[in-house]
A and B are shown apart, each in its own frame.
Chain A
Amino acid sequence: MGAESSPKIVIVDESPIRAAILEEGLREAGYTEVVHLSEMQSLLARIYALDPDIIVIDLENPSRDSLEQMFQMSRAVRRPIAMFVDQSDAASIQASVDAGVSAYIVDGLKKERIKPILDLCVSRFNAFSKLQDELDRTKHALEERKVIDRAKGILMKLKGLTEEEAYVLMRSTAMREKKKIGEIAQSILTASELLK
């Protein structure tokens, strides 16, 4: 590997979306040699065939212990070691574990070349979890909306209310009982199931 060439990076991640986000980020930053491995079968054989300089793995990946052992047992010359084993950068290691990503680096790769790659992984992993949170919130809001609509329907039918009146009734009940309107709607659904 020449000093100017792009280090070869392998991403081990079972989430294809997150891996795509990371891969895109790395390519944009000028790292051209990036390979994503999602298949956990024969992972080590594939890693050795690719002979990467850096292996990035998500912390939720149960294959992490297997990788550590395989790297340790490896008789290959270019043996990957866990990032910052020299513990010179506690803040970076903390940031990456917080973000849910870890890395293994072959001996001899200079730290100033590793740092920007890891920083990029951390920011992309964080961006992904933010995206995931937003998605979860949206999904939750949508589900709550459905429950409220169904509860409204039940109230309209049972009490002969208009849609507006049914909603106002739920909202005022929620305020009086210091609960969320979604919770009131859910109780209405549960009660109507029980009383069927």
Chain B
Amino acid sequence: MSTPLHVGFIPLVDAAALIVAVDRGFAAEEGLDVTLVREVSWSNVRDKLNIGLFDAAHLLAPVAIASSLGIGHVKVPIVAPFNLGINGNAITVSPALHAAIMAELDGDRFDPMATARALARVVAARRKRGAVPVTFAMTFPFSTHNYQLRFWMAAGGVDPDEDVRLVVLPPPFMAETLAGGQIDGFCVGAPWNSIAVDRGVGHILHFVSDILVRAAEKVLAIRQGWADRNPEVVAALIRAAARGSAFVEENRTETARILAQPERIGVDAEVILRSLDGRLKISTDGTLRESGRYLLIGREGADRPDPVQAAWLYAQMARWRQISTSREALRTTMAVFRPDLYDAALGRGSEAGQGAAGPIGAFAGPAFDPEDVSGYLRSFTVPRRAS
């Protein structure tokens, strides 16, 4: 008899491994009867996972950590035994902000340090004129998008809390809000950057892989208590997701077709395929940019949760004053990512599989060392204006 499961997701390309696992029958072959539920907000996904309406979910890695630490909401310990995607986000700006940054640019336009410094000059000029501050949208307070945007602009001398406005928007609303002029740019996952470019309302300024070589993005999230009580089901779900991610990597065209269905992501298969291939139209004139690191699903060890990535996200939460640091909180955070469950489910030693995880590789700051988070944090100083 198959086990009925309810799994929540947000319409994004990095839900691919889960969606494919269900729609291609891998979950069923593992004895799971999975109902995928598309959600409109991360708050909903978090709440439904927390109270047990969902058994598992496609979740922002930082939300899994925040939930386990009890930050911002109810404390519910979560485990992440499978990593659904590495990278995949991009920063898109309006044609006006793009032109302003390019006018101030001193260096290569794909060099995030050059663009961040240019942004700092644009922001300062706006302030001098008394104009409204530059506004960027991201997807959630505890999101990779929030931290990636902040990491980028702070490196150029922009204080994300004082010099610009950061607002939250659901991914499917980014393009139209940019078109409406309420925001000047955003950081979001695929395919929503491409949607803005296709509508002629945005330029992709950076792939997040310009900022961080390797950044854990979404995880398969499960309540720890439930996972402890149902180890076989969790193992089966990991195996189904692993077959899903392998399929995604080997069959991108078919994956794009599956994801394009209205009850999944519901946008053109061609746009989704661009994200999977890392071949994105970055400006309205059709300029293409290609990167093998744009979005990693099912390759380069992307599936296996890496606790160092969790620690890096924890450091960002601390840097932006969402949490106060402690040895215990760091331990709790790193224990959210569960490579041991991944290895056990797939019968692998920790070094096998798709290869060992590479470093985070940020464009600014020292190399990240989870043993010395406070030393790492001390190296970042954002010039603060008197406030």
Contacts and interface: CB of A to CB of B under 8 A. Distances in A.
Interface of A: 59-62, 64-66, 68-70, 72-73, 82, 84-85, 87, 90, 93-94, 97-98, 102
Given A65-B42, A65-B43, A72-B72, 17 more contacts: A59-B40, A59-B41, A60-B40, A62-B172, A64-B40, A64-B43, A65-B140, A65-B169, A69-B141, A69-B168, A70-B167, A72-B141, A82-B74, A84-B74, A87-B75, A93-B51, A94-B52
Interface in B252-276: none
A97 B168 contact: no
A65 B168 contact: yes
Contacts of B47: 93, 97, 102
Majority-rule SS of B interface residues: loop
A85 B51 contact: no
B211 to A, nearest CB: 21
B226 to A, nearest CB: 14
A68 B43 CA distance: 8
B41 A62 contact: yes
B73 interface: yes
Nearest to A84: B74
Contact of A85 (B73, B139, B141): B73
Nearest to B140: A65
Nearest to B322: A72
Contacts of A72: 72, 141
Given A59-B44, A64-B44, A69 B51 contact: no
B193 to A, nearest CB: 18
A64 B168 CA distance: 9
Contacts of B53: 94, 97-98
B40 A61 contact: yes
Nearest to B76: A87
A160 to B, nearest CB: 43
B32 to A, nearest CB: 23
Contacts of A85: 73-74
B168 A66 contact: yes
Measured as residues with beta carbon below 8 angstroms from the partner, the interface class of chain B is: 20 to 34
A69 B172 CA distance: 17
B170 interface: yes
Contacts of B72: 68, 72
A72 B141 CA distance: 8
B137 to A, nearest CB: 9
B48 A97 contact: yes
A62 B73 CA distance: 18
Nearest to A86: B74
A170 to B, nearest CB: 32
28 contacts: A59-B44, A61-B40, A61-B41, A62-B41, A62-B172, A62-B173, A64-B40, A64-B41, A65-B41, A65-B139, A65-B140, A66-B167, A66-B169, A66-B170, A68-B43, A68-B141, A68-B168, A69-B168, A72-B72, A72-B141, A82-B74, A84-B74, A87-B75, A93-B47, A94-B53, A97-B48, A98-B53, A102-B47
Give 9 nearest A-B pairs by CB, closest first. A69-B168, A64-B41, A62-B170, A66-B168, A65-B41, A64-B43, A69-B141, A62-B40, A65-B168
B57 to A, nearest CB: 14
A161 B43 CA distance: 59
Interface in B20-60: 40-44, 47-48, 51-53
A18 B168 CA distance: 26
Nearest to A87: B74
A61 B173 CA distance: 12
A60 B40 CA distance: 6
A93 B72 CA distance: 16
